[in-house]
Amino acid sequence: MSLPSLNVVSPQRMPRVRTLFSFTLLAAAIGTAQLAVAAPEVTHSVKVDERVYEIVFNPQTQAVYAAVTGERNQDAQSNKNRVTAGIVVLDANTLEQVNKIATGDTTPFGLGINSQTQKLYAVDTIKGVVGVYAIDSGEEVALIKNPGDESTHLRQAVVDEKNNKIYISAVGGRDRDGTPGPKSAVWVIDGATDTLESVIVEPVKTAAGLAIDVEKQRLYVSDLSKNEIAEVDLNTQKVLRTFASVDATKAGEPEASSNTINLEIDTRNGILFAINQKSGGVVLIDLESGDILSTVKTGGGALSAELDPTSGDLYVANRNDGTVSVIDGKTHFVSAHLSTGTHPQTIAINPKTGQVYVSNKSKGKGRSAPEEAPTPVEAAGNTVTLITQ
Protein backbone atom coordinates (compact mmCIF):
# COMPACT_ATOMS: atom_id res chain seq x y z
CA MET A 1 0.00 0.00 0.00
CA SER A 2 1.36 3.36 -0.91
CA LEU A 3 1.31 6.20 1.57
CA PRO A 4 -0.99 9.19 0.86
CA SER A 5 0.83 12.11 -0.72
CA LEU A 6 -1.51 14.92 0.32
CA ASN A 7 0.94 16.52 2.79
CA VAL A 8 4.09 15.81 0.86
CA VAL A 9 5.91 18.89 -0.42
CA SER A 10 7.96 18.42 -3.52
CA PRO A 11 11.64 19.04 -2.77
CA GLN A 12 11.97 20.96 -6.04
CA ARG A 13 9.65 23.70 -4.74
CA MET A 14 11.42 24.35 -1.44
CA PRO A 15 14.17 26.60 -2.82
CA ARG A 16 11.54 28.78 -4.52
CA VAL A 17 9.76 29.32 -1.22
CA ARG A 18 13.00 30.16 0.56
CA THR A 19 14.02 32.52 -2.25
CA LEU A 20 10.67 34.31 -2.15
CA PHE A 21 10.99 34.66 1.63
CA SER A 22 14.53 36.00 1.24
CA PHE A 23 13.39 38.59 -1.28
CA THR A 24 10.58 39.62 1.07
CA LEU A 25 13.03 40.15 3.92
CA LEU A 26 15.36 42.05 1.61
CA ALA A 27 12.54 44.32 0.44
CA ALA A 28 11.50 44.96 4.03
CA ALA A 29 15.08 45.76 4.98
CA ILE A 30 15.43 48.16 2.07
CA GLY A 31 12.14 49.84 2.99
CA THR A 32 13.30 50.20 6.59
CA ALA A 33 16.59 51.63 5.43
CA GLN A 34 14.81 54.14 3.23
CA LEU A 35 12.66 55.24 6.16
CA ALA A 36 15.74 55.61 8.34
CA VAL A 37 17.46 57.77 5.75
CA ALA A 38 14.39 59.99 5.43
CA ALA A 39 14.02 60.52 9.17
CA PRO A 40 15.00 64.03 10.30
CA GLU A 41 18.03 64.34 12.55
CA VAL A 42 20.01 67.12 14.21
CA THR A 43 23.24 67.61 12.28
CA HIS A 44 24.93 70.28 14.37
CA SER A 45 24.46 73.57 16.23
CA VAL A 46 26.52 76.73 16.38
CA LYS A 47 26.72 79.56 18.88
CA VAL A 48 25.59 82.99 17.75
CA ASP A 49 25.53 86.36 19.48
CA GLU A 50 23.63 86.97 22.69
CA ARG A 51 19.84 86.57 22.85
CA VAL A 52 18.89 85.12 19.48
CA TYR A 53 15.24 85.38 18.48
CA GLU A 54 13.76 84.90 15.02
CA ILE A 55 15.50 83.43 11.96
CA VAL A 56 14.68 83.44 8.23
CA PHE A 57 16.14 81.64 5.21
CA ASN A 58 17.19 83.39 1.99
CA PRO A 59 17.08 81.11 -1.09
CA GLN A 60 19.00 83.60 -3.24
CA THR A 61 22.04 83.88 -0.99
CA GLN A 62 21.72 80.41 0.60
CA ALA A 63 22.06 82.05 3.99
CA VAL A 64 20.24 82.09 7.31
CA TYR A 65 19.58 85.43 9.01
CA ALA A 66 19.20 85.50 12.79
CA ALA A 67 17.88 88.44 14.80
CA VAL A 68 19.94 88.98 17.96
CA THR A 69 19.12 91.56 20.60
CA GLY A 70 22.57 91.59 22.23
CA GLU A 71 23.46 92.06 25.86
CA ARG A 72 21.53 94.32 28.20
CA ASN A 73 24.48 95.74 30.15
CA GLN A 74 23.92 99.37 31.08
CA ASP A 75 27.32 100.00 32.65
CA ALA A 76 29.52 102.12 30.39
CA GLN A 77 32.60 100.06 31.19
CA SER A 78 30.81 96.83 30.33
CA ASN A 79 29.54 98.32 27.08
CA LYS A 80 33.08 98.40 25.67
CA ASN A 81 32.91 94.65 25.01
CA ARG A 82 29.13 94.45 24.82
CA VAL A 83 27.54 92.26 22.16
CA THR A 84 25.38 94.62 20.12
CA ALA A 85 22.02 94.01 18.53
CA GLY A 86 21.92 93.14 14.85
CA ILE A 87 21.22 90.45 12.27
CA VAL A 88 23.74 87.62 12.10
CA VAL A 89 24.29 86.04 8.67
CA LEU A 90 25.09 82.32 8.59
CA ASP A 91 26.05 80.01 5.73
CA ALA A 92 23.05 77.72 5.22
CA ASN A 93 25.12 74.54 4.96
CA THR A 94 27.90 75.03 7.50
CA LEU A 95 26.19 77.58 9.79
CA GLU A 96 29.46 79.50 9.76
CA GLN A 97 28.93 83.20 10.50
CA VAL A 98 29.83 85.17 7.39
CA ASN A 99 28.55 88.63 8.31
CA LYS A 100 26.53 90.70 10.75
CA ILE A 101 24.19 93.50 9.73
CA ALA A 102 24.32 96.35 12.23
CA THR A 103 20.88 97.65 13.18
CA GLY A 104 21.96 100.59 15.33
CA ASP A 105 19.30 101.68 17.80
CA THR A 106 16.82 99.16 16.39
CA THR A 107 16.72 95.95 18.43
CA PRO A 108 15.41 93.13 16.24
CA PHE A 109 13.15 90.58 17.90
CA GLY A 110 10.98 89.56 14.96
CA LEU A 111 12.33 89.18 11.43
CA GLY A 112 10.74 88.95 8.00
CA ILE A 113 12.30 88.59 4.56
CA ASN A 114 11.25 89.40 1.01
CA SER A 115 13.55 87.21 -1.07
CA GLN A 116 12.33 88.90 -4.27
CA THR A 117 13.34 92.41 -3.26
CA GLN A 118 16.16 91.15 -1.01
CA LYS A 119 15.09 93.14 2.04
CA LEU A 120 14.90 92.26 5.70
CA TYR A 121 12.22 93.64 8.02
CA ALA A 122 13.41 93.81 11.64
CA VAL A 123 10.66 94.15 14.27
CA ASP A 124 11.66 96.09 17.39
CA THR A 125 9.10 95.00 19.97
CA ILE A 126 10.19 97.51 22.62
CA LYS A 127 10.57 100.68 20.55
CA GLY A 128 7.62 99.88 18.30
CA VAL A 129 9.45 100.39 15.01
CA VAL A 130 10.31 98.30 11.97
CA GLY A 131 13.77 98.68 10.45
CA VAL A 132 14.23 97.80 6.77
CA TYR A 133 17.64 96.59 5.59
CA ALA A 134 19.04 95.91 2.12
CA ILE A 135 20.57 92.44 2.19
CA ASP A 136 23.37 93.14 -0.29
CA SER A 137 24.72 96.26 1.43
CA GLY A 138 23.37 95.80 4.96
CA GLU A 139 22.26 99.43 4.95
CA GLU A 140 19.10 100.63 6.65
CA VAL A 141 16.77 101.86 3.93
CA ALA A 142 13.81 102.81 6.13
CA LEU A 143 12.61 103.06 9.71
CA ILE A 144 8.84 102.70 9.93
CA LYS A 145 6.64 104.00 12.75
CA ASN A 146 2.91 104.20 13.34
CA PRO A 147 1.74 107.76 14.15
CA GLY A 148 -1.60 106.44 15.47
CA ASP A 149 -2.52 105.60 19.04
CA GLU A 150 -2.74 101.83 18.56
CA SER A 151 -0.42 99.47 20.40
CA THR A 152 3.29 99.76 19.64
CA HIS A 153 4.09 96.34 21.13
CA LEU A 154 5.08 94.83 17.79
CA ARG A 155 5.46 91.09 17.47
CA GLN A 156 5.51 89.27 14.14
CA ALA A 157 6.16 90.05 10.48
CA VAL A 158 4.73 88.04 7.59
CA VAL A 159 5.61 88.89 4.00
CA ASP A 160 3.48 88.67 0.85
CA GLU A 161 6.26 88.52 -1.75
CA LYS A 162 3.86 88.35 -4.69
CA ASN A 163 2.21 91.70 -3.86
CA ASN A 164 5.20 93.16 -1.98
CA LYS A 165 3.30 93.77 1.25
CA ILE A 166 4.47 93.22 4.80
CA TYR A 167 2.10 92.67 7.72
CA ILE A 168 3.12 93.34 11.34
CA SER A 169 1.09 92.32 14.38
CA ALA A 170 0.83 94.78 17.28
CA VAL A 171 -0.23 93.16 20.56
CA GLY A 172 -2.76 95.25 22.48
CA GLY A 173 -6.01 95.21 24.38
CA ARG A 174 -4.63 93.81 27.60
CA ASP A 175 -5.90 95.27 30.85
CA ARG A 176 -3.20 96.64 33.15
CA ASP A 177 -4.11 97.76 36.66
CA GLY A 178 -7.73 97.82 35.59
CA THR A 179 -7.04 100.20 32.71
CA PRO A 180 -7.56 98.90 29.16
CA GLY A 181 -4.41 99.03 27.03
CA PRO A 182 -4.17 100.47 23.52
CA LYS A 183 -5.97 98.63 20.75
CA SER A 184 -4.23 95.82 18.95
CA ALA A 185 -3.56 96.26 15.25
CA VAL A 186 -1.96 94.89 12.11
CA TRP A 187 0.34 97.19 10.17
CA VAL A 188 0.28 97.05 6.37
CA ILE A 189 3.63 98.11 4.90
CA ASP A 190 4.06 98.88 1.19
CA GLY A 191 7.29 97.12 0.23
CA ALA A 192 7.78 99.28 -2.85
CA THR A 193 8.15 102.45 -0.78
CA ASP A 194 8.77 100.86 2.63
CA THR A 195 6.16 103.10 4.21
CA LEU A 196 3.16 102.40 6.40
CA GLU A 197 0.29 102.08 3.95
CA SER A 198 -2.55 101.45 6.42
CA VAL A 199 -3.41 100.01 9.81
CA ILE A 200 -6.03 97.33 10.43
CA VAL A 201 -7.34 98.35 13.85
CA GLU A 202 -8.43 95.71 16.36
CA PRO A 203 -9.12 92.71 14.12
CA VAL A 204 -9.00 90.84 17.44
CA LYS A 205 -8.62 92.01 21.03
CA THR A 206 -5.01 90.84 21.46
CA ALA A 207 -3.30 90.27 18.11
CA ALA A 208 -0.38 87.84 18.20
CA GLY A 209 0.26 85.34 15.40
CA LEU A 210 -0.29 85.90 11.69
CA ALA A 211 -0.65 83.67 8.64
CA ILE A 212 -1.46 84.66 5.08
CA ASP A 213 -3.16 83.04 2.10
CA VAL A 214 -1.60 85.06 -0.71
CA GLU A 215 -3.80 83.76 -3.53
CA LYS A 216 -7.09 84.39 -1.71
CA GLN A 217 -5.78 87.52 0.01
CA ARG A 218 -6.84 86.38 3.43
CA LEU A 219 -4.96 87.20 6.62
CA TYR A 220 -5.47 85.11 9.76
CA VAL A 221 -4.85 86.77 13.13
CA SER A 222 -4.76 84.87 16.42
CA ASP A 223 -6.29 86.39 19.54
CA LEU A 224 -4.06 85.70 22.52
CA SER A 225 -6.76 86.58 25.04
CA LYS A 226 -9.75 84.73 23.59
CA ASN A 227 -8.23 81.76 21.77
CA GLU A 228 -9.96 82.78 18.59
CA ILE A 229 -8.77 83.47 15.07
CA ALA A 230 -10.04 86.25 12.81
CA GLU A 231 -10.10 85.93 9.04
CA VAL A 232 -9.46 89.30 7.39
CA ASP A 233 -10.18 90.16 3.76
CA LEU A 234 -7.06 92.08 2.75
CA ASN A 235 -8.85 93.84 -0.10
CA THR A 236 -11.41 95.44 2.23
CA GLN A 237 -9.44 95.01 5.50
CA LYS A 238 -12.64 93.78 7.14
CA VAL A 239 -13.03 90.78 9.43
CA LEU A 240 -15.06 88.14 7.60
CA ARG A 241 -15.46 85.66 10.44
CA THR A 242 -13.89 84.33 13.63
CA PHE A 243 -13.51 80.75 14.78
CA ALA A 244 -12.16 78.88 17.79
CA SER A 245 -8.48 77.94 17.99
CA VAL A 246 -8.88 75.35 20.76
CA ASP A 247 -11.35 72.55 21.34
CA ALA A 248 -12.75 73.49 24.74
CA THR A 249 -14.87 70.33 24.86
CA LYS A 250 -11.83 68.07 24.95
CA ALA A 251 -10.59 66.81 28.30
CA GLY A 252 -7.44 68.66 29.30
CA GLU A 253 -8.10 71.46 26.83
CA PRO A 254 -9.59 74.26 28.98
CA GLU A 255 -10.00 77.33 26.85
CA ALA A 256 -8.37 79.67 29.33
CA SER A 257 -5.11 77.73 29.43
CA SER A 258 -4.16 77.50 25.78
CA ASN A 259 -3.04 80.90 24.49
CA THR A 260 -2.85 80.73 20.71
CA ILE A 261 0.50 82.40 20.20
CA ASN A 262 1.27 81.67 16.53
CA LEU A 263 -0.24 80.40 13.30
CA GLU A 264 0.92 78.51 10.22
CA ILE A 265 -1.02 77.72 7.06
CA ASP A 266 -1.17 74.91 4.51
CA THR A 267 -3.01 76.49 1.59
CA ARG A 268 -2.61 73.40 -0.59
CA ASN A 269 -4.67 71.27 1.79
CA GLY A 270 -6.77 74.04 3.29
CA ILE A 271 -5.53 73.67 6.87
CA LEU A 272 -4.69 76.35 9.42
CA PHE A 273 -2.44 75.39 12.32
CA ALA A 274 -2.98 77.12 15.67
CA ILE A 275 0.03 76.82 17.98
CA ASN A 276 -1.14 76.85 21.59
CA GLN A 277 1.64 77.62 24.03
CA LYS A 278 0.18 76.78 27.43
CA SER A 279 -1.45 73.52 26.39
CA GLY A 280 1.65 72.53 24.43
CA GLY A 281 0.24 71.54 21.08
CA VAL A 282 -1.21 72.36 17.69
CA VAL A 283 -4.86 72.53 16.64
CA LEU A 284 -5.64 71.74 13.00
CA ILE A 285 -8.49 73.80 11.55
CA ASP A 286 -10.34 73.29 8.28
CA LEU A 287 -10.16 76.62 6.46
CA GLU A 288 -13.37 76.15 4.51
CA SER A 289 -15.64 75.41 7.46
CA GLY A 290 -13.58 76.83 10.32
CA ASP A 291 -14.10 73.56 12.19
CA ILE A 292 -11.42 71.94 14.31
CA LEU A 293 -10.10 68.76 12.71
CA SER A 294 -7.81 67.50 15.44
CA THR A 295 -5.52 68.45 18.32
CA VAL A 296 -1.91 67.25 18.34
CA LYS A 297 0.19 67.39 21.51
CA THR A 298 3.80 68.29 20.77
CA GLY A 299 5.55 69.50 23.92
CA GLY A 300 5.73 72.08 26.67
CA GLY A 301 5.50 75.68 25.58
CA ALA A 302 4.78 75.08 21.90
CA LEU A 303 5.73 78.47 20.49
CA SER A 304 6.07 78.56 16.71
CA ALA A 305 5.83 76.32 13.67
CA GLU A 306 6.97 76.17 10.06
CA LEU A 307 5.51 74.09 7.23
CA ASP A 308 7.78 72.22 4.83
CA PRO A 309 6.01 73.05 1.54
CA THR A 310 7.43 69.98 -0.19
CA SER A 311 6.69 67.21 2.31
CA GLY A 312 3.80 68.90 4.09
CA ASP A 313 5.41 68.13 7.44
CA LEU A 314 5.03 70.71 10.21
CA TYR A 315 7.98 71.51 12.47
CA VAL A 316 6.97 72.81 15.91
CA ALA A 317 9.31 74.54 18.37
CA ASN A 318 8.53 73.48 21.95
CA ARG A 319 10.18 76.23 23.96
CA ASN A 320 9.89 74.73 27.43
CA ASP A 321 10.94 71.22 26.41
CA GLY A 322 13.97 72.18 24.35
CA THR A 323 12.65 70.13 21.44
CA VAL A 324 11.28 70.39 17.93
CA SER A 325 8.40 68.06 17.04
CA VAL A 326 7.63 66.92 13.52
CA ILE A 327 3.97 66.44 12.60
CA ASP A 328 3.65 64.16 9.58
CA GLY A 329 1.93 65.93 6.70
CA LYS A 330 -0.12 62.87 5.73
CA THR A 331 -1.09 61.25 9.03
CA HIS A 332 -0.97 64.39 11.23
CA PHE A 333 0.69 62.33 13.95
CA VAL A 334 3.97 63.32 15.61
CA SER A 335 6.70 61.38 13.80
CA ALA A 336 9.77 62.75 15.62
CA HIS A 337 10.96 64.69 18.65
CA LEU A 338 14.38 66.32 18.27
CA SER A 339 16.40 68.00 21.01
CA THR A 340 17.78 71.25 19.61
CA GLY A 341 18.67 73.64 22.43
CA THR A 342 17.67 75.41 25.63
CA HIS A 343 14.62 77.30 24.34
CA PRO A 344 13.69 76.58 20.69
CA GLN A 345 12.30 79.87 19.44
CA THR A 346 11.62 79.97 15.70
CA ILE A 347 12.08 77.75 12.64
CA ALA A 348 13.04 78.38 9.01
CA ILE A 349 13.10 75.85 6.14
CA ASN A 350 14.92 75.57 2.83
CA PRO A 351 12.06 74.35 0.60
CA LYS A 352 14.38 72.78 -1.99
CA THR A 353 16.67 70.77 0.27
CA GLY A 354 14.32 70.28 3.23
CA GLN A 355 17.00 71.58 5.59
CA VAL A 356 15.47 72.98 8.77
CA TYR A 357 16.97 75.72 10.93
CA VAL A 358 16.05 76.38 14.57
CA SER A 359 16.94 79.36 16.75
CA ASN A 360 17.47 78.41 20.40
CA LYS A 361 17.35 81.17 23.00
CA SER A 362 19.21 80.88 26.30
CA LYS A 363 17.65 81.12 29.75
CA GLY A 364 19.94 84.02 30.59
CA LYS A 365 20.25 85.47 34.06
CA GLY A 366 16.62 86.51 34.40
CA ARG A 367 14.91 89.86 34.31
CA SER A 368 15.13 90.37 38.07
CA ALA A 369 18.85 89.64 38.26
CA PRO A 370 21.11 92.61 39.07
CA GLU A 371 23.21 94.05 36.27
CA GLU A 372 26.43 92.93 37.93
CA ALA A 373 25.31 89.29 38.00
CA PRO A 374 27.29 87.20 35.50
CA THR A 375 25.47 85.68 32.55
CA PRO A 376 25.27 81.88 32.92
CA VAL A 377 27.22 79.82 30.41
CA GLU A 378 24.77 77.69 28.41
CA ALA A 379 26.16 75.37 25.77
CA ALA A 380 22.74 74.86 24.18
CA GLY A 381 21.54 78.47 24.46
CA ASN A 382 21.89 81.24 21.86
CA THR A 383 22.42 78.70 19.12
CA VAL A 384 21.16 77.91 15.64
CA THR A 385 20.58 74.23 14.89
CA LEU A 386 20.54 72.48 11.51
CA ILE A 387 18.16 69.55 10.98
CA THR A 388 18.54 67.41 7.87
CA GLN A 389 16.67 64.40 6.53
Instruction: Name the stretches of the chain with pLDDT < 70.
Output: 1-38, 72-82, 175-178, 250-258, 365-367
pLDDT at residue 37, rounded to an integer: 45
pLDDT at residue 77, rounded to an integer: 44
Q: Which of 178, 186, 120 is nearest to 153 (CA)?
A: 186
Model pTM score: 0.87
Q: Is residue 249 part of a domain?
A: yes
Q: Is residue 283 part of a domain?
A: yes
Question: Terminus-to-terminus CA distance in the chain, angstroms?
Answer: 67
Q: Is residue 358 part of a domain?
A: no
pLDDT at residue 342, rounded to an integer: 95
Q: Is residue 302 part of a domain?
A: yes
CB 170 within 8 Å of CB 153 = yes
pLDDT at residue 83, rounded to an integer: 78
**What is the number of residues in the chain?**
389
pLDDT at residue 371, rounded to an integer: 72
pLDDT at residue 377, rounded to an integer: 76
Domain count, the chain: 1
Domain span holding position 295: 245-339
Q: Is residue 327 part of a domain?
A: yes
Q: Is residue 290 part of a domain?
A: yes
Q: Is residue 56 part of a domain?
A: no
How far lies 168's CA from each of 134, 149, 209, 310, 347, in Å? 19, 16, 9, 26, 18
CATH number at residue 263: 2.40.10.480
Alpha carbons 86 and 39: distance in angstroms, whole number? 34
Q: What is the DSSP string of 261-328?
A: EEEEEETTTTEEEEEETTTTEEEEEETTT--EEEEEE--TTEEEEEE-TTT--EEEEETTTTEEEEE-
Q: Is residue 309 part of a domain?
A: yes
pLDDT at residue 179, rounded to an integer: 76
pLDDT at residue 259, rounded to an integer: 87
pLDDT at residue 251, rounded to an integer: 53
CB 220 within 8 Å of CB 211 = yes
C-alpha gyration radius of the chain = 25
Burial of 195 (0-12, 13-18, 19+ CB in 10 A): exposed
pLDDT at residue 254, rounded to an integer: 52
